[in-house]
Chains A and B, each alone.
Chain A
Amino acid sequence: MDWWGWVILALVIIAILVVLAVIVQRKRRRGGVIGLSKPGRGDSA
């Protein structure tokens, strides 16, 4: 493979990694609603 082939391959891999990182981060940042049967100290408010 010529040098430009490696460059394109590298760019494709980087693009895939960026997309995966964004997907994972969006999932991680989506907040939850946690229902606890025994909440801690904050419960006494």
Chain B
Amino acid sequence: MTTPTPMLLLLASEVTGRPVVTLSGELVAEIKDVVFERSGGRIAGFTLRNPGLFSRSRKDALPWMGVHGIGRDAVMVADETVLIPANEIAPRKQARDADVLQDRVLTDNGRDLGRVVDVVLHSGTSLEVVGYEVEASEALGTAGRHVFIPLPDTVAVSGENLIVPAAACEFISEDLAGFGAAVGAFRARLREGAS
């Protein structure tokens, strides 16, 4: 039996609002939205806004391939040339209705687990969505509390509801510290089941 590898996890809400800074120290923008690919959970990039209280959204975006590094206090990029038009990452028409925050999470056997309040990201060679923080429904017996639900390697999602395998209920975590291990164990269980 192998021990699941520890994961470096962060919440999407911790990334939004972080300044985007070039390696020469220039403040370019702030992160507005995290954009991910629903089929695989991989982060495609970030939409941007100008810094400042009454700032507007920017028409350019930061693709994941343009990110030099994500630190605790800033997202680093080589320079402004890595930015691309926002429509190439998140076409406005699609993005308008594609925010997963407040979406309902259902198991594949129809159990309502609650509503998404945040998204858990795994930072490694790429950044990917590995779980949802949900405000638990009564079905979990902890109504109103925030819990973390692990996601499989392949996130199959469409429409307004986010569907997770029923086995995810066994790996629900109440804190982020233990969640990395829960994701690893959950995915190992799914692979065992598939083989």
The chain A residues found within 8 Å of chain B, CB to CB, are: 25, 29-45
Size bracket, chain B contacts: 35 or more
* B63 interfacial by beta-carbon distance below 8 Å: yes
> B106-147, CB under 8 A of A: which get 1 and which 0?
000000000000110000001001000000000000000000
A-B contact count (CB 8 A): 103
Decide yes or no: A31 and B32 within 8 Å by CB, A40-B89, A42-B64 being known contacts: yes
When distances are taken between beta carbons in the complex, the residues of chain B under 8 Å from A44 are 65
When distances are taken between beta carbons in the complex, the residues of chain A under 8 Å from B158 are 37
The chain B residues found within 8 Å of chain A, CB to CB, are: 12-13, 15-17, 31-39, 42, 44-45, 47, 49, 53-54, 61-66, 84, 87-91, 94-95, 98-101, 118-119, 126, 129, 157-158
- Write the nearest CB–CB distance from A39 to chain B, whole angstroms: 4
Decide yes or no: A43 and B42 within 8 Å by CB, A31-B32, A33-B36, A34-B98 being known contacts: yes
Contact among B31, B88, B94 for A41, CB-based, below 8 A: B88
When distances are taken between beta carbons in the complex, the residues of chain A under 8 Å from B34 are 31-34
Bound together, the chains give a CA A44 to CA B40 distance in angstroms of: 12
**By the criterion CB–CB under 8 Å, are A42 and B89 in contact?**
yes
Bound together, the chains give a CA A44 to CA B45 distance in angstroms of: 10
Bound together, the chains give a CA A31 to CA B18 distance in angstroms of: 10
Residue of A nearest to B64 (CB): A45
When distances are taken between beta carbons in the complex, the residues of chain A under 8 Å from B31 are 31
Binding site secondary structure of chain B? mixed
**By the criterion CB–CB under 8 Å, are A39 and B13 in contact?**
no
Contact among B35, B66, B126 for A34, CB-based, below 8 A: B35
- Write the nearest CB–CB distance from A2 to chain B, whole angstroms: 35
Q: A31-B32, A37-B38, A45-B64 are in contact. List 18 more A-B contacts (CB 8 A).
A: A30-B16, A31-B12, A31-B13, A31-B33, A32-B32, A32-B34, A33-B36, A33-B100, A34-B47, A34-B100, A35-B98, A35-B157, A40-B44, A40-B87, A41-B63, A41-B89, A45-B63, A45-B126
**By the criterion CB–CB under 8 Å, are A36 and B36 in contact?**
yes
Residue of B nearest to A40 (CB): B88
Contact among B15, B53, B54, B90 for A36, CB-based, below 8 A: B90
When distances are taken between beta carbons in the complex, the residues of chain B under 8 Å from A32 are 16, 32-34, 99, 101
